[in-house]
Amino acid sequence: MGQIVTLDQNMVNMIAAGEVVERPASVVKELMENSIDAGATKITVSIEDGGRRLISVADNGCGMDADDLASAFESHTTSKIKRSCDLRGISTLGFRGEALASIASVAQIKAVSKTKDSPGANCIEIDCGDKGSVSPCSADCGTTVQVRDIFYKLPARRKFLKTANTEMGHITEHFTRIALANSNLDMILHHNGRELYQLSGKQDVRQRIAELFSPEISENLIATESNEKGLHIFALLGRPDISRTNNKFQYVFLNGRFIRDKFISHAIREAYRGSLEPNRFPVVFLFIQMPYEDYDVNVHPTKIEVRFYNTNLLHSQILGCLREKLLGTKLETEARFPAAMDSDRLNRGQKIADAMAEFFKKYRPIQTQQQLSSASKKHFAAPRFSAGQIIESQAGPQLQREFLQIHDSFIVAEADDGFIIIDQHALHERIIYENLSRRIRTGKLESQKLLIPESFQLTDAQADALKANAELIERLGIELAPFGPKTYAIHAFPTILAKAEPLDFAHDLIDLLTDKSAGLDAERLLDEVLNMAACKAAIKAGQKLSDSEIKQLLADRERAECSSHCPHGRPTTIKFSAVELEKQFKRT
Ligand code: ADP
Ligand code: MG
Per-residue model confidence as pLDDT tens for the chain (588 residues)? 789 999 988 888 888 777 789 899 999 999 999 999 999 999 999 999 999 999 999 999 999 999 999 999 998 899 998 888 888 889 999 998 999 999 999 999 999 999 999 999 999 999 999 999 999 999 999 999 999 999 999 888 899 999 999 999 999 999 999 999 999 999 999 999 999 999 999 989 999 999 999 998 999 999 999 999 999 999 999 999 899 988 889 999 999 999 999 999 999 999 998 888 888 899 999 999 999 999 999 888 889 999 999 999 999 999 999 999 998 888 877 777 665 444 455 555 555 566 556 555 554 444 434 333 433 433 333 434 455 655 544 444 444 568 999 999 999 998 888 899 999 999 999 999 999 999 988 888 899 999 899 999 888 888 888 888 998 899 999 999 888 888 999 999 998 888 888 988 988 898 888 887 767 788 888 888 898 899 988 999 999 999 999 999 999 998 888 888 888 888 899 988 888 888 888 887
- Is the CB–ligand 1 distance for residue 297 below 6 Å? no
- Residue 1: its pLDDT value, please? 77
At residue 17, φ and ψ (nearest 5 deg) are: -60, -30
- Is the CB–ligand 1 distance for residue 64 below 6 Å? yes
Strand 333-334 versus strand 573-577 pairing type: parallel
* CA 293 to ligand 2 center in whole angstroms: 20
Q: Write the single-letter amino acid at 185.
A: L
* CA 77 to ligand 2 center in whole angstroms: 10
pTM: 0.75
Q: Determine the Cα–Cα distance for residues 496 and 476; give it in Å rounded to an integer.
A: 10
* CA 108 to ligand 2 center in whole angstroms: 18
- 98 three-class SS: coil
Strand 142-148 versus strand 54-59 pairing type: antiparallel
Strand 479-482 versus strand 487-494 pairing type: antiparallel
* CA 31 to ligand 1 center in whole angstroms: 8
- Is the CB–ligand 1 distance for residue 259 below 6 Å? no
Ligand nearest the Cα of residue 97 is 1
Taking the alpha carbons of 210, 214, 219, 224 in that order, is the dihedral positive or negative?
negative
Residue 4 burial (C-beta neighbours within 10 Å; 0-12, 13-18, 19+): exposed
- Is the CB–ligand 1 distance for residue 59 below 6 Å? yes
Q: Write the single-letter amino acid at 203.
A: Q
List of E strands, 89-217: 108-114, 121-127, 130-131, 135-137, 142-148, 186-191, 194-199
User: Do 21 and 106 meet the contact criterion of CB atoms below 8 Å apart?
Assistant: yes
- Using the atom order of ligand 1, give the atom closest to the CA of residue 78: 14
Q: Write the single-letter amino acid at 5.
A: V
- Residue 397: its pLDDT value, please? 43
Strand 121-127 versus strand 487-494 pairing type: unpaired
- Is the CB–ligand 1 distance for residue 437 below 6 Å? no
User: Do 252 and 235 meet the contact criterion of CB atoms below 8 Å apart?
Assistant: no
Q: Determine the Cα–Cα distance for residues 157 and 302; give it in Å rounded to an integer.
A: 19
Residue 350 burial (C-beta neighbours within 10 Å; 0-12, 13-18, 19+): middle
- Ligand 1, pocket-test mutation among 37, 77, 95, most atoms within 8 A of CB: 37
User: Do 337 and 345 meet the contact criterion of CB atoms below 8 Å apart?
Assistant: no
- Residue 383: its pLDDT value, please? 39
User: Closest Cα partner for 19 from 106, 84, 80?
Assistant: 106
Give the long-range contacts of residues 470-475, CB within 8 A, separation 24 or more.
Answer: 472/522, 472/525, 472/526, 472/529, 473/509, 474/444, 475/440, 475/444, 475/445, 475/526
- Using the atom order of ligand 1, give the atom closest to the CA of residue 92: 2
Nearest CA, atom 21, ligand 1: 34
Ligand nearest the Cα of residue 102 is 1
* Triad 290, 296, 299: Cα angle to 5°: 140
Bridge partner list, 45 = 57, 189
Ligand nearest the Cα of residue 36 is 1
User: Closest Cα partner for 581 from 331, 357, 342, 341?
Assistant: 357
- Residue 367: its pLDDT value, please? 40
- Residue 349: its pLDDT value, please? 54
User: Do 564 and 241 meet the contact criterion of CB atoms below 8 Å apart?
Assistant: no
- Ligand 1, pocket-test mutation among 20, 78, 90, most atoms within 8 A of CB: 78
Q: Where are the alpha helices (DSSP H) in 328-368?
A: 343-362
Residue 523 burial (C-beta neighbours within 10 Å; 0-12, 13-18, 19+): exposed
Q: Write the single-letter amino acid at 206.
A: R
What is the CB-side half-sphere exposure of residue 75 using CA atoms within 13 A? 14
- Is the CB–ligand 1 distance for residue 97 below 6 Å? yes
* CA 290 to ligand 1 center in whole angstroms: 24
3-state secondary structure 403-441: EEEECCCEEEEEECCEEEEEEHHHHHHHHHHHHHHHHHH
Residue 12 burial (C-beta neighbours within 10 Å; 0-12, 13-18, 19+): middle
Nearest CA, atom 17, ligand 1: 72
**DSSP state, residue 43:** E
- Ligand 1, pocket-test mutation among 100, 109, 124, 257, most atoms within 8 A of CB: 100
Kindly report whether the peptide bond that precedes residue 482 is cis, defined as omega within 30 degrees of 0.
no
Taking the alpha carbons of 210, 265, 86, 31 in that order, is the dihedral positive or negative?
negative
- Residue 387: its pLDDT value, please? 57
- Using the atom order of ligand 1, give the atom closest to the CA of residue 100: 6
| Cβ contacts of 393 within 8 Å, gap of 6 or more | none
